[in-house]
Every structure is written in structure tokens, then in C-alpha cells.
Structure 1
Amino acid sequence: MEKSLHNEGEQFGKLNISDDVLSTIASIAASEVKGVTSMSGGITGGIVEMLGKKPVGKGVKIEIEEEKVKVDIFLVVNYGVRIPDVAWEVQENVKKSIEAMAGLKVAQVNINVQGVNFQKVNPKEGDLKSQEEK
């Protein structure tokens, strides 16, 4: 994304913000939301990881049209959370972060829930199981 930098009518030059930077901002903003387990890289992210490269902005796709950003987020949520609430909070946090840090208008933040994390250790359940076996 390229923007011109102006100060009272004077042009200082151009600012280029890479899609990778926007992806990283969106990924971090989404990961900060309670109930989000991880970002899902999908097939493309898996291939990149197999090649030994760390995916930048894993689980995020960025499109820019007419100085407006469209963001697609792919994530995994914790079991038991209310998915629409988590999705709304992710949308708000991603939009706020990109607009504040990059100065770009966010037109859409689309949430794609790719999975549910069931791993929750409950020591009491473990104790009950061992007592039942005795």
C-alpha cells in the first residue's frame, strides 16, 4: 500500500506499507482476543512452514482496493466460547489496530473459524477418573 506524506500542502515523499506488515498487525490483534486459540494458516501456511520459513501474518489474507483494506482472518477458537462474540471482538480489534497503526481505512474484516480447540486440562476430572477406576 502506498500513501503520499503531506504537511500543509508540501509533499515529503511516499510511504509504502507492505501487505506483510498489515498481516502481522491483524494477526497480533486477533490473537489478543480472549477465546482465540491460534491463527490457522491453512494449506498455504502449512506448505510455507514445511519449507522452513516462518509464515508472516499466519491466518490472515489482505486485499487493498482504492485505499481500503479488506482482511480475511482464519482462526481456531477455544471450546465453550460464544463464537459470534469472539468474532465480533476480533473484527473490532483488527480494524482498530490497522487504522491506528497504518492510517488506512478498513472496509471489511471477515472471520473464518477453522476449528475448535478441545484441549482443556481439568485436574478435578482427572481425579474423578482415577477414583472411578479403583
Structure 2
Amino acid sequence: MNDVSKKVEKSLHISQDVIAQIVTNSVNEIEGVYGIAPVMKTPRQLWFRQENFGNIRIGLVDDVLSVSIGIILCRGAKAVSVAEEIQDKVKSAVQNMLGLTVAKVNVTICGVDLSEKE
């Protein structure tokens, strides 16, 4: 009799939409952020009715992520402190939830919401 050895290869594939949703949730919890800067939907997103997470770009090289986010600040928010808080929160959220290393989080201030606070 031959012994049959069973090899099971395990792999995990994480959609960029999942990473973008984690980033979106993290950013929306930060005081001083009005929202993530919008971008136009692609024809593919329109056709398949896919969600558009805004100005978020994700790069993955050898299980190391780089994230770039465009945000809109609330009126009176301090840009540097809000950007630093976004970097810390996004990095820790992605690393804790997915176990992936985040090398850098780039934050671009794309605008400021000038409407009056209620």
C-alpha cells in the first residue's frame, strides 16, 4: 500500500474593495474630516453597479501595502494634525483587520468644505 500524502495549499485573496471599505470607515471616524474626495465612476462600476469608494488608491507589493487617500476637510480643521491622525488610524486598522503590513499612507488634502456647521 502506498501512503497518500495530502498537501493543501492555502491562500487568501483580499479584494481591494474590502481594503477601501476599511480605509473609508477609519477615515470617517476622524474629527475634522468631511469625507473622502469623490472621483467619477468608471463605466465598469456603472455597468456592474459597483460601489465607488472615492479617491483611494491601493498598491500591494509582496504583501506590503501602500495607501493613498484624497480627503476633504471640514471648515476650521487643522490639516497637518488631521492628516497624521488619518495615517495612524488607517495603518493600524488595516494591519489589525487584515494582518498586512502597511508601508505608507499618503494623504492628499483635495478641498475644504466651507458650509456652516449646524
Trace 1:48-59 onto structure 2 (pairs within 5 A).
Answer: 48=42, 51=46, 53=49, 55-59=51-55
**Greater strand proportion:** 1
Residue by residue over 1:48-96, the C-alpha shift from the partner in whole angstroms, topping out at 9 and shown as x without a partner, is: 4993745343221100012100000011001111100000000011000
1:61 is the counterpart of 2:57: yes
Once residues 92 and 23 of structure 2 are traced to their aligned partners in structure 1, the CA distance between those partners, rounded to angstroms, is 10
The secondary structure found in structure 1 opposite 2:97 is: helix
- Worse overlay, 49-58 or 102-111: 49-58
Q: TM-score, normalised by structure 1?
A: 0.73
Check whether the contact 1:87–1:111 (CA below 8 A) recurs between aligned residues: yes
Check whether the contact 1:36–1:78 (CA below 8 A) recurs between aligned residues: yes
The correspondence for 2:101, drawn from 83, 105, 109, is 105
For structure 1, list consecutive stretches of 5 or more residues without a partner in the other structure. Answer: 1-9, 123-134
Trace 1:1-134 onto structure 2 (pairs within 5 A).
Answer: 13-42=10-39, 46-48=40-42, 51=46, 53=49, 55-121=51-117
**Greater helix proportion:** 1
Q: TM-score, normalised by structure 2?
A: 0.82
Displacement after TM superposition at 1:121 (Å): 4.0
Letter aligned with residue 84 of structure 1: V
Displacement after TM superposition at 1:120 (Å): 1.2
Letter aligned with residue 59 of structure 1: N
Identity of aligned residues (%): 26
For structure 2, list consecutive stretches of 5 or more residues without a partner in the other structure. Answer: 1-6
Displacement after TM superposition at 1:40 (Å): 0.9
* Pair 1:63–1:21, CA change in 2 (3 A): same
Once residues 90 and 68 of structure 1 are traced to their aligned partners in structure 2, the CA distance between those partners, rounded to angstroms, is 18
Residue correspondences, number: 110
Q: Report the aligned-residue RMSD.
A: 2.3
